């Protein structure tokens, strides 16, 4: 790619952006990203981006709409400033759970977000563990979809745990749990859940033997923590001994950390795609950084090198 590398960040995850820049060895692009007094988002680039290969980092956790709008406005500012290419780096893609209609008269918000990003001027997407891989197909521009699984499985391999069963807490996560199971050499169990209403999961059935075993529940995100708590209750009733949880995106809405502690989850391992609030930090929560992975991907995209090695 001709043009110099410039990286800007929104307010979604500045700590991750700074960690990425330390690996890249270049300073973050200077920009004002704030609010006008009337609540509108204000963006002003403080450096020239004409002809540059620009990456904009933004995670879309709560307040989701603020972070999304900020991203769109930053992309617009960079496009109108004549950058030669814009890559939206989205460690956590918001609205991803609304990727299909589960009943009539519902939106497909994940597709709307894709449309907005492209309309704003995005040329490529770099993201981590989309809730549903099919979201990649919502874009007609290149999408580099990184997986944090190797980071998490390396952590569990180092714990040298025995008699481990990896559990998918819902049918949609079986592929993810199966991949995890193979990587750490464990058995697999599957929980089927339904949602009677939004954010209220209920376990319907469980397949697999967890009696006397150490269990690792693997999910893509922890939002309210209810999925993990429900799964933990079922696993204990089936005789599981120690229960660990592992997820890529720690959204931690609605006191998720407290609920997990009360449920007796021994340890939760997450990544920093979403910043963990100080109030949710706890010695039982281990945060692994995706910064080296994203930095390597940004450098390879910039240099026009393959990033498929990062997928495995
Ligand atoms: C659901 O399909 C997802 O994979 C997660 O299981 C879910 O988003 C977790 O949400 P919560 O923590 O609110 O149960």
- Position 245 scores a pLDDT of 97
Q: What is the mean pLDDT of residues 61-78?
A: 98
CATH of the domain at 233: 3.40.50.2020
**Res. 280 pLDDT band, cuts 50 70 90:** confident
Catalytic residue (choose from 44, 101, 111, 193): 193
> Rounded distance, CA 91 to CA 113, Å?
15
Q: Both 166 and 111 in a single domain?
A: no
Top mutation candidate among 223, 232, 249, 258 for ligand 1, by most atoms within 8 Å of CB: 223
Whether residue 61 has its Cβ less than 6 Å from ligand 1:
no
When divided into structural domains, the chain yields a total of: 2
Q: Both 239 and 298 in a single domain?
A: no
Ligand 1 atom closest to residue 172's alpha carbon, by position in its atom list: 2
**pLDDT of 103-136, one tens digit each?**
999 999 999 999 999 999 999 999 999 999 999 9
- Position 31 scores a pLDDT of 98
> Of all helices (H) and strands (E), which one includes residue 34?
strand 31-35
Ligand 1 atom closest to residue 223's alpha carbon, by position in its atom list: 12
Q: Both 170 and 77 in a single domain?
A: no
Mean pLDDT of the chain: 96
Interval between CA 227 and ligand 1 midpoint (Å):
6
- Domain of 217, in residue numbers: 149-288
Q: In what order do the strands lie in the sheet with 214-222?
A: 200-207, 187-197, 164-168, 214-222, 243-250, 267-271, 285-288
User: How many CB atoms sit inside 10 A of residue 139's CB?
Assistant: 18
Q: Both 197 and 232 in a single domain?
A: yes
Active site residue 303: no
Ligand 1 atom closest to residue 225's alpha carbon, by position in its atom list: 12
Specify the pTM. Answer: 0.96
């Amino acid at each position: 790619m001709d043009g110099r590398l410039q990286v800007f960040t929104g307010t979604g995850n500045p700590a991750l952006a700074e960690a990425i820049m330390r690996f890249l060895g270049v300073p973050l692009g200077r920009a004002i990203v704030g609010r006008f007094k009337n609540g509108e988002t204000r963006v002003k680039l403080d450096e020239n981006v004409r002809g540059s290969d620009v990456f904009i980092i933004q995670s879309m956790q709560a307040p989701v709409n603020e972070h999304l709008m900020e991203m769109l406005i930053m992309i617009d500012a960079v496009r109108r400033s004549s950058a030669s290419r814009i890559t939206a780096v989205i460690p956590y893609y918001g609205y991803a759970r609304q990727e299909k209609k589960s009943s009539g008269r519902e939106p497909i918000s994940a597709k709307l977000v894709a449309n907005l990003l492209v309309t704003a001027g995005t040329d490529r997407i770099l993201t981590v563990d989309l809730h549903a891989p099919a979201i990649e197909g919502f874009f007609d521009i290149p999408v580099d979809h990184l997986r944090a699984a190797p980071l998490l499985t390396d952590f569990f391999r180092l714990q040298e745990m025995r008699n481990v069963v990896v559990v998918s807490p819902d049918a949609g996560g079986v592929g993810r749990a199966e991949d995890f199971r193979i990587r750490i050499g464990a058995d697999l169990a599957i929980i089927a859940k339904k949602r009677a209403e939004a954010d209220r999961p209920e376990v319907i059935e469980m397949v697999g033997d967890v009696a006397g075993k150490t269990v690792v529940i693997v999910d893509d995100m922890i939002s309210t923590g209810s999925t993990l708590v429900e799964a933990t209750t079922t696993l204990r009733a089936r005789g599981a001994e120690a229960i660990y949880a592992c997820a890529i995106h720690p959204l931690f809405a609605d006191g998720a950390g407290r609920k997990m502690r009360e449920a007796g989850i021994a340890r939760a391992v997450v990544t920093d795609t979403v910043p963990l609030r100080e109030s949710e930090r706890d010695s039982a929560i281990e945060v692994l950084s995706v910064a080296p992975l994203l930095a390597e991907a940004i450098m390879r995209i910039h240099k026009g090198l393959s990033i498929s090695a990062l997928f495995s």
